[in-house]
Amino acid sequence: MIKKGKFITFEGIDGAGKSSHIEEVISFLESKKIGVKRTREPGGTRLGEKLRDLLLHDEMDPETETLLMFAARCQHIAEVIRPALNDGMFVVSDRFTDATYAYQYGGKNVAYSKIEILEQWVHPDLKADLTLLFDLPVEISIERLSKNKILDKFEKESEPFFNRLRNVYLDIARQNPNRYKIINANQAIESVSRDVIEAVKNIL
Ligand code: TMP
C-alpha cells in the first residue's frame, strides 16, 4: 500500500474519555496546516454506520460480531482510510483493529488466531503510526458510564469484561512500544490533553 499520510488511532475501554480529545488533536494538526480526516470504527462509511447500528444494539454471536467488525473495516479502509493516506492526509480514527483484539478476543473469547487471520486478510500492510491508549481503572470508567442515560450493548457489560479487555490493550501496548502511547486518563483533563498533544508532536 502506498502511504504518504499518517494514521493515528484512539483506543481504550468505554468511559475512558478518548472521544473528547480527538477534536483537540484535529485542531492541533490543522494549526500545523496538515490535512486531517476524522473517522471512527465501527463506522466511517455509509455502510459502516449501518453496521455500527447493528453491532452496538443487536445481540449476536461473538464470531458474527467479529466478522461484521471486519466487514465494516474493509469498507472503511477502501473508501476512507487508504484514499486519505494516499493523498498525504493524517487519518485520525476513533478505534481500529486493536479494539477487535480487546473486545472480541479479550472480552468475548473469540480465538486470537481467527482475528489475526482477518487482520491479515483485510489489512496486511496497514498499521497505525501512533495509537493513543486511554487507560484508567475499570471502576472509574464504570462510574463515568453510569452517568450516561442510554448505554449501548458494550457499555452495559460487566466489570470483569472491562478488566479483561483493559489487560489485552495493555499487553498490545507493551508488545508495540514504538506505536503505542499509554495516556493516563485518570488525571486532570488538562494533563490528559498535554500528554495527548505531546505524543502527536512526536510523530510530526
Ligand atoms: P465507541 O463507543 O468508542 O464509539 O465504540 C463503539 C463500541 O464498539 C465500543 O464499545 C467498542 C466496540 N468495538 C468492538 O467491540 N470491536 C471493534 O473492533 C471496534 C472497532 C469497536
- Give 60's contacts (C-beta < 8 A, 6+ positions apart): 54, 68
**What is the distance, to the nearest Å, from the Cα of residue 33 to the centroid of all Cα atoms in its chain?**
24
pLDDT in tens, 154-200: 999 999 999 999 999 999 999 999 999 999 999 999 999 999 999 99
Instruction: Give the distance (Å) from ligand 1 centre to CA of residue 85.
Output: 23
- What pLDDT does 3 receive? 63
Q: Is the CB of 14 under 6 A from ligand 1?
A: yes
3-state secondary structure (DSSP) of residue 76: helix
Instruction: State in words which class domain 7-201 has.
Output: alpha beta
**What is the distance, to the nearest Å, from the Cα of residue 28 to the centroid of all Cα atoms in its chain?**
19
pLDDT in tens, 74-129: 999 999 999 999 999 999 999 999 999 999 999 999 999 999 999 999 999 999 99
- Residues 103, 163 contacting (CB under 8 angstroms): no
- What pLDDT does 165 receive? 97
Domain ranges for the chain, please list them.
7-201
Would you say residue 145 has pLDDT above 60? Answer: yes
- Comparing CA positions, the residue from 110, 130, 127, 129 lying closest to residue 119 is 127
What is the position in ligand 1's atom list of the atom closest to the CA of 152? 10
Would you say residue 28 has pLDDT above 70? Answer: yes
Q: Is the CB of 9 under 6 A from ligand 1?
A: no
